[in-house]
Amino acid sequence: MIMSKLFKKTLLIIIVLFAVVAVSTLLSSGWHIYNMLVAEYTSKGTAIARSIADSSVETLLNRDAATVQSMIDQFTEIAGVSYVFVVDAQGDIISHTFVPNVPSEIRDIGTSKNTAPVDIEIGNRRYIDISAPIVEGAVGFVHVGMDKGIIMSELLSSMMRQFYLLSIIFIFSAAAAYFLVSRVSQPLNKLTEYSRRLAQHDFSQSIEIKSKDEVGQLAGTMQSLANDLSEVFDRYEHALKDAVVELQSTLAYLTAVIDHMADGLLVSDVDGIITHVNPAMSAMVNMRENDLIGKYCGDLFGEGLAEIVQKSRHDPEEVYTIEIELAGGRTGKAVAAGVMQDYFPLEGGGKGIGAVVLVRDITTEKEVDRMKTDFISTVSHELRTPLTSVKGFTEIIRNKLEEDLFSKVTFTDEKSARALKRVRTNINIILSESERLTSIIDDLLDVAKLEAGKVQWKTEPVSVADVISRAHEATSALFEKKGLVFTKNVESDLPYVIGDSDKLIQVVINLLSNSVKFTESGSVTCTACSNGKEIVVRVADTGSGIADTDRHAVFEKFKQVGDTLTDKPKGTGLGLPICRQIIAHHRGRIWVESEMGLGSVFIFTLPVADVTNVAAESHSTNRETITHV
Amino acid sequence: MSKVLIVDDEPLIRILLEQSLEEFVDHGVSILTAENGLEAIEIIKKERPELVFLDVMMPKMNGFEVCNMVKKELQFKDICIVMVTAKGQEQDKIKAEEVGTDYYITKPFSIRDVINKVSEILKIEL
């Protein structure tokens, strides 16, 4: 049976304590017994001495030494009495029991008149000398010597008996204690072993202690705790397993997504070292994944990419793009964005841990773009050249006719006069139609350029009031021709907007000429005001108006609302789409409000420029050294 | 006697411009023509015209190159160059400005405007 260390210690302490108690008990009882024995023997000796003294008065007085001798001799047979002697008043020993002669130590006591018991030593033996006076000491004294050795041996035997008793008690109690402690210790040992297993997360065992004491309660509590713990562990283990499975499937999903992306993906660390690429990326640069990972992206794709990787790291909100060369002379567009450690925010927000770069093969797009641009310029050139001849020669014909023929010849017959009139009219029609054709080509080019993103926009502070004035100047002839009234209502001190003034003038010209086109009589009103955030420009006419269903269509290409079979088309149908594109580029909005028969209001907004920017940019004036004829 | 050079690979445009400037011939202006850039350079060197109408898109040597060469030569840099082009695009205007073009007109142009411009440059009242 294994005993717990705690109980071993306790048992040892109990034994030591018992030993201390036993020894001290033994000593104190020994001392007590010794005192009692001394007193007993002293009183015994006193009684003997007194009886001798009382009975020997006469004998002494008669100086019958032989009688005295015989009397005292019989006393020496009493247990404990060692010697008896009688001295007279002068201190001479009258009779004694010493054999063969009186020891010298006795002679000194004989002379003493003291009657108190005295310890003396004769030879190696110790005695208690008790004296009793005979007739108040007048006759002499009787001395009785009690042997101390007997006292000591009695004491010893008594002590031995006590010792044996204590030993027996000790052995029995120790055995009982050992047994008891072992019994208490056993469940504790079980408990200890059980808790050790619990600590090692072994919940398979159960503990069985049926006792109702603290140990039993402790075992019960521990068992229920262990059950709870085991349950919690099980639950967490399941949750962990589920989480791992989920994580693995998510990871597999993400990897599959990344690996099957059509675009190339490249991940770099903060130093621009490539840490991950997807198969599309490897294919684009015609290199194996292993040859890419661990390399500096600047070495593989040029410093431009390394630069945007660094930039994106410092400014994770921004997305940077650059064109890079791919394998086989193809071109890729790389888009870099910083990767932040969002999930483990450190002090002061997230920390850039690298950059992710998406690469798209834009070779085809670029080719298409180039072809589109080429097409635009080719069409522009090929159409304009014959148009120039048509327009130019017609103009020359007209001039020649007017100056050199019509002015010099007078037609008398009606037919000739009519023919002259017809020629004049038709030549003018050719001229105006060639003008129209020119503007259609211009508009087509504008739309194509806007859509292809080939327009070079100026960014300068623009005064909306100036824009409206210049647009009105350009269209004043139209107003005069149709006899319409133009009203301008522009708020003073309008803030600047940032943009391209020529393009904005084009917008207002388009809107004004549009209004004139569809207004037979009345007026066109242009107003401009600011609401703090943006400037709102309205061009209102008193024309035919636009039906609700057509309101969106007016901003679509080649759409002219109304019945195209009966109404003669006016313009190219491209003016408003161009306006929409230009306004959209300026981050503004354009729309129309209209009521059939009452007129239309075209409204556009432009965001107000930041005042601090205006000052800086107002220096970048637009040089116009070439005069446009 | 003033000389005006018309450079264009399109014969009709050359004829059109010639006819437009016909009236100036009566005022002692001679009109020269060239059908490509190389020819234009030769004529400019030989005849030293006051005014050149220069097309941009031409074979052998384009208008920008011709203008650039002319404006670099100290003895020719006073020659007034009017770029005539079908390309009305911004980058062409900027390019024309860079090579030192004095005026810039886009096809189709107005005959009236051309006549006015020439009389202004040559200081000839018709």
How confident is the model over A588-611, as pLDDT tens digits? Answer: 999 998 888 888 899 999 998 775
For A346-350, which contacts have Cβ atoms below 8 Å and span 24 or more sequence positions? Answer: A350/A316
Structural contact between residues A503 and A457, judged by C-beta atoms closer than 8 angstroms: yes
**Domains of chain B by start residue, with CATH:** 3-122 (3.40.50.2300)
Quickly state the pLDDT bin for A505 (edges 50, 70, 90).
very high
Residue B66 confidence (pLDDT): 92
Chain A: give the shortest CA distance to residue B6, in Å: 15
Residue A242 confidence (pLDDT): 93
Question: Residue A73 corresponds to which tokens in the numbers above?
Answer: 């001799």
Contacts of B105 in chain A (CB under 8 A): 628-629
Summary count for chain B: helices (H), strands (E):
6, 5
Fold observed for domain A456-617: Heat Shock Protein 90 (3.30.565)
State the average pLDDT for chain A. Answer: 82
Above 80 in pLDDT, residue A210?
Answer: no
Chain A: give the shortest CA distance to residue B117, in Å: 8
Q: Do A627 and B103 touch (CB under 8 A)?
A: yes
Structural contact between residues A332 and A317, judged by C-beta atoms closer than 8 angstroms: no
Residue A342 confidence (pLDDT): 61
Quick one: CATH architecture of A261-361? 2-Layer Sandwich (3.30)
Q: Do B108 and A626 touch (CB under 8 A)?
A: no
Q: What Cα–Cα distance (Å) separates residue A289 from each residue in A28, A274, A284, A328, A332?
A: 98, 10, 11, 18, 18
Quickly state the pLDDT bin for A628 (edges 50, 70, 90).
very low
Find the CB nearest A388 among B57, B88, B108.
B108
Above 80 in pLDDT, residue A321?
Answer: yes
Average pLDDT over residues A489-497: 88
List, for residues A74-123, the tens digit of each pLDDT value: 887 887 888 888 887 777 787 788 777 777 777 777 777 777 788 888 87
Contacts of B113 in chain A (CB under 8 A): 629
Above 90 in pLDDT, residue B16?
Answer: yes
Residue A618 confidence (pLDDT): 43
Q: Do B107 and A385 touch (CB under 8 A)?
A: yes
Residue A248 confidence (pLDDT): 93
Q: Rounded to whole angstroms, how far apart are CA atoms A460 and A503?
A: 12
What percent of chain A has a predicted confidence (pLDDT) above 70? 91
Q: Rounded to whole angstroms, how far apart are CA atoms A354 and A341?
A: 9
Residue A612 confidence (pLDDT): 53
List, for residues A352-392, the tens digit of each pLDDT value: 778 888 888 888 888 887 787 778 767 777 888 888 999 99
Above 80 in pLDDT, residue A561?
Answer: no
Find the CB nearest A392 among B20, B57, B87.
B20
What percent of chain B has a predicted confidence (pLDDT) above 90? 52
Pairing of strands A331-340, A352-361: antiparallel
Q: Rounded to whole angstroms, how far apart are CA atoms A340 and A117?
A: 110
What residue of A is the nearest CA neighbor of B99?
Answer: A626
Question: Residue A455 corresponds to which tokens in the numbers above?
Answer: 């327009």
Q: Do B16 and A399 touch (CB under 8 A)?
A: no
For A581-585, which contacts have Cβ atoms below 8 Å and span 24 or more sequence positions? Answer: A581/A447, A581/A450, A581/A451, A582/A450, A582/A500, A582/A503, A582/A504, A582/A506, A582/A507, A583/A507, A585/A450, A585/A455, A585/A457, A585/A499, A585/A503
Q: Do B86 and A380 touch (CB under 8 A)?
A: yes
Out of A219-223, A289-293, A406-410, B41-45, the most confident range is: B41-45
Above 70 in pLDDT, residue B108?
Answer: yes
Above 60 in pLDDT, residue A65?
Answer: yes
Above 80 in pLDDT, residue A347?
Answer: no
Greater pLDDT, A191 or A573: A191
Summary count for chain A: helices (H), strands (E):
15, 18
Residue A421 confidence (pLDDT): 87
Quickly state the pLDDT bin for A438 (edges 50, 70, 90).
confident
Residues of chain B whose beta carbon is less than 8 angstroms from a beta carbon of chain A are 10, 12-13, 16, 19-20, 57, 82, 86-91, 93, 96-97, 101-114, 117
Contacts of A386 in chain B (CB under 8 A): 12
Residue A562 confidence (pLDDT): 53
Query: Taking CA A533 as the corner, what is the angle to CA A527 and CA A535, rounded to the nearest 5 degrees?
Result: 20
Q: Do B88 and A395 touch (CB under 8 A)?
A: no
Residue A536 confidence (pLDDT): 93
Chain B: give the shortest CA distance to residue A325, in Å: 26
Q: For the whole model, what pTM was predicted?
A: 0.49
Above 60 in pLDDT, residue A614?
Answer: no
Above 50 in pLDDT, residue A622?
Answer: no
Above 80 in pLDDT, residue A534?
Answer: yes
Find the CB nearest B107 among A388, A445, A449.
A388
Min mean pLDDT across A22-36, A563-577, B72-86 is at A563-577
Average pLDDT over residues A190-207: 81
Chain A: give the shortest CA distance to residue B37, in Å: 18
Residue B90 confidence (pLDDT): 66
List, for residues A131-164, the tens digit of each pLDDT value: 888 877 777 888 888 888 888 888 899 889 988 9
Chain A: give the shortest CA distance to residue B1, in Å: 25
Average pLDDT over residues A393-398: 92
Chain B: give the shortest CA distance to residue A442, in Å: 9
Min mean pLDDT across A35-39, A342-346, A595-599 is at A342-346
Above 50 in pLDDT, residue A256?
Answer: yes
Average pLDDT over residues A196-224: 81
Strand order in the sheet with A352-361: A274-277, A264-268, A352-361, A331-340, A319-325
Contacts of A375 in chain B (CB under 8 A): none
Structural contact between residues A505 and A470, judged by C-beta atoms closer than 8 angstroms: yes
Quick one: CATH architecture of A5-162? 2-Layer Sandwich (3.30)
Greater pLDDT, A564 or A580: A580
Min mean pLDDT across A94-103, B73-82, B90-99 is at A94-103
Residue B44 confidence (pLDDT): 92
